[in-house]
Amino acid sequence: QTVVTQEPSFSVSPGGTVTLTCGLSSGPVSTNSYPSWFQQTPGQAPRTLIYSTNTRSSGVPDRFSGSIVGNKAALTITGAQADDESDYYCVLYMGSGIWLFGGGTKLSVL
Amino acid sequence: QVQLVQSGAEVKNPGSSVKVSCKASGGTFSTNAISWVRQAPGQGLEWMGGITGMFGTTNYAQKFQGRLTITADGFPSTVYMELSSLRSEDSAVYYCARSLGYSYVPSPNYHDYYMDAWGTGTTVTVSS
């Protein structure tokens, strides 16, 4: 059974840079997986940050960027702010109209 | 600005079914694809399935095959998610998410697949 892997937790200092990753148990992640990234705070619906690996959704600040790093999709936050403290999820396209979310990364800004 | 308004919280007995609606407020999404994503308490997001705009093609995650049915009424635009044979593990917040375009299936020439708007969420509790 294919699993999308993310770091369970990560921390970054205010103003710092952090890169969260999104891997695939069955092999490398490529642009053909069309990785998307979402931000979610407790009790709120997710917010779409990035799609198609590196395209920012409307209104998303440019300190959020997406890429492929090695065999994984990556979300980089540059100049982290206190309100970036959230859960971050990636989702990958599996083919045949099916998407698979990762388990999420809880980001602390401290 | 289209908003996605979902039906209210539900409490269901194990073995029963639940039907959650997702309606566009301030517009329609008769040509937009809709995905359903759930989140169990303290857990991550889980893509369940979706329905494309225009042709109403559906896809379901293997985990939900045989239990999940997604349908749509074209006008007014409402999409429904029905999950049957409920068990306690189905207790979750259920979200609808709209794709910018008619399909959530990506391709090199089609990038409007992504989920650009999310519903208000519906809490489903399965308990005897």
How much of chain B is helix, strand and coil, in % rounded to 5?
Answer: 5, 50, 45
Read off the pLDDT band of B31 (50, 70, 90). Answer: confident
pLDDT digits (tens, 9 = 90+) for A56-109: 999 999 999 999 999 999 999 999 999 999 999 999 999 999 999 999 999 999
Read off the pLDDT band of B30 (50, 70, 90). Answer: low
**What percent of chain A is modeled with pLDDT above 90?**
99
Q: Give the nearest chain B residue to A98 (CA atoms).
A: B61
pLDDT digits (tens, 9 = 90+) for A5-35: 999 999 999 999 999 999 999 999 999 999 9
Q: How far is B26 from chain A (nearest CA, A)?
A: 19
| Closest listed residue to residue A94, CA positions, set A10, A42, A20, A29 | A29
- Taking residues A27-46, report their average pLDDT: 96
The answer to whether the beta carbons of residues B28 and B54 sit under 8 Å apart is no
Q: How far is A100 from chain B (nearest CA, A)?
A: 6
Question: Does residue B6 belong to the interface with chain A, where contact is any CB pair within 8 Å?
Answer: no
pLDDT digits (tens, 9 = 90+) for B61-111: 999 999 999 999 866 578 999 999 999 999 999 999 999 999 999 999 999
Question: Does residue B63 belong to the interface with chain A, where contact is any CB pair within 8 Å?
Answer: no
The answer to whether the beta carbons of residues B37 and B48 sit under 8 Å apart is yes
Read off the pLDDT band of B29 (50, 70, 90). Answer: low
Report CA torsion sign: B79, B111, A35, A46: negative
